[in-house]
Amino acid sequence: MTQKHEPGECRCSRGLTRRGFLSTVGAGVAVASAAGKLAAQPAASQGADVLPSAEMTPITLNINGRTHRLLVEPRWSLLFVLRERLGLTGTKVGCERGECGACTVLMDDLPRYACMTLAVEAQGSEITTLEGLMRGEELGGVQQAFVEEDAFQCGYCTPGQIMAVEGLLRAHPEPSQEEIQMGLSGNLCRCGAYVHIFKAAGRAAQLKRGQ
């Protein structure tokens, strides 16, 4: 099922300390957090009874510029494969039903809920995760903007927010305030950090323009 989030957004058919979170955003690597336990079990459970290999489906995924050849069960979500098979835990598990946006990745530059996307469905697309926004050891522009604007509290929603902003800016390099709010409408923040998140989106646009 596909759900449009204007402008230019496609999502579906898509006690952590602040310092601990920063390392997540910065390094784009795993953070096992209390918040991460929100819905980790459902995702992990997808692999609980793995089919015999003869019944698995071979797929090829293009993620952050690298090619991954995998055997998957047809029912596995892209979220499960990213986290549990490839170790790309920058993509977070939240509701697992297309409501919160914590699992947002880009597929062909469009934000997409990884929990609502089957891994087999993602073949042929260029997938970008939080890890793919890093420039070597340096933060990407959107990541840097979130740090500068202090655009998080617990930080659990932030990887998804960052990916949504990245997708927004790829479609709209100079977004209006309304476009920013619309572009982030598929990402919930239970801490209510929206004012800072919207500022970070504007700052990210400036950084991407070299300002």
Sites of contact with ligand FES (CB under 6 A): 93-96, 98-103, 113, 115, 152-158, 189-191, 193
End-to-end CA distance of the chain: 39
Tokens 């449009």 appear where? Answer: 4
Give 98 or 140: the residue with its C-beta nearer to ligand FES. 98
DSSP calls for 155-187: -SSHHHHHHHHHHHHHH-SS--HHHHHHHTTT-
Give 37 or 190: the residue with its C-beta nearer to ligand FES. 190
Q: How far is the CB of 97 from ligand FES (least distance, A)?
A: 7
- Pairing assessment for the beta strands 9-12 and 104-107 based on DSSP bridges: unpaired
Give 87 or 173: the residue with its C-beta nearer to ligand FES. 87
- Burial bucket for residue 3 (CB in 10 Å: 0-12, 13-18, 19+): middle
Q: How far is the CB of 32 from ligand FES (least distance, A)?
A: 17
Residue 52, sorted as left (phi over 0), alpha (psi -120 to 50) or beta, turns out to be: beta
Give 71 or 85: the residue with its C-beta nearer to ligand FES. 85
Q: How far is the CB of 156 from ligand FES (least distance, A)?
A: 5
Q: How far is the CB of 158 from ligand FES (least distance, A)?
A: 6
Give 30 or 71: the residue with its C-beta nearer to ligand FES. 30
The span from the CA of 201 to the CA of 184, in Å, is 9
Q: How far is the CB of 102 from ligand FES (least distance, A)?
A: 5
Q: How far is the CB of 16 from ligand FES (least distance, A)?
A: 9
Strands (E), 14-164: 57-63, 66-72, 104-107, 110-113, 126-128
- Which two tokens mark 53? 């290999």
Give 153 or 181: the residue with its C-beta nearer to ligand FES. 153
